[in-house]
Amino acid sequence: MKSRTAIYPGTFDPITNGHLDIIKRAARLFDSVIIAVSNNIQKKPLFDIDERTELVRIAVQDIDNVAIDSFDDLLVNYVSAKKADAVIRGLRVISDFEYEFQMALMNRKLLPDIETVYLMPSEEHIYISSSIVKEVGRYGGNISCFLPPEIETALRNKLRMVKKIW
């Protein structure tokens, strides 16, 4: 029987408990899951690609069938190179669906054999996004319930460094 591999791409700036919920769900469904940290500079990430990749590595270290990688290419090229069977995407709210549906159709047009699997996080994580967490953290709000402890520390340190530059 063929091993089934899924790619979970994202910016992960930083990885949140919502991302981790999706990763754990995907890890139960697939033999292996590759967390593919995207170098999408259009999103203007707070952490650089190496920092984000390392933070993901820290956050998923206890999940056996998960690997971490980064990429700077079309997702379909990366999926093809990894010989993956599916792309995992998280859906939190209805507004996510329109964008994700458009991307899945484009990916399928470029790589007809690729399947996109949508997973919803637990309701306790449904409203979490990296952008909102960074914004709350930037103004000193409590972000401990949204991030693993090591990631919260890294985000607070990064926000302090950035604040000094402002």
Q: Which residues of 113-127 are buried (b: 16+ CB within 10 A; e: fewer)?
A: ebebbebebeeebee
Asked about 125 being catalytic, the answer comes back as no
Query: In whole angstroms, what is the distance from residue 66 CA to residue 160 CA?
Result: 31
- Exactly one of 3, 43, 122, 131 is catalytic; which is it? 43
Instruction: Choose the catalytic residue: 32, 89, 125, 130.
Output: 130
Task: Pick the catalytic residue from 24, 57, 82, 92.
Answer: 92
Q: Quick one: which of 96, 140, 149 has its CA closest to 118?
A: 96
Burial of 159 (0-12, 13-18, 19+ CB in 10 A): middle
Q: How far apart are CA 50 and CA 164, in angstroms?
A: 22
- As a whole number of angstroms, the distance between CA 155 and CA 104 comes to 31
28 is catalytic: no
Q: Where are the alpha helices (DSSP H) in 8-93?
A: 17-29, 49-59, 75-82
| 130 catalytic per annotation | yes
What are residue 66's DSSP bridge partners? 33
Catalytic positions, please?
Answer: 19, 43, 92, 130
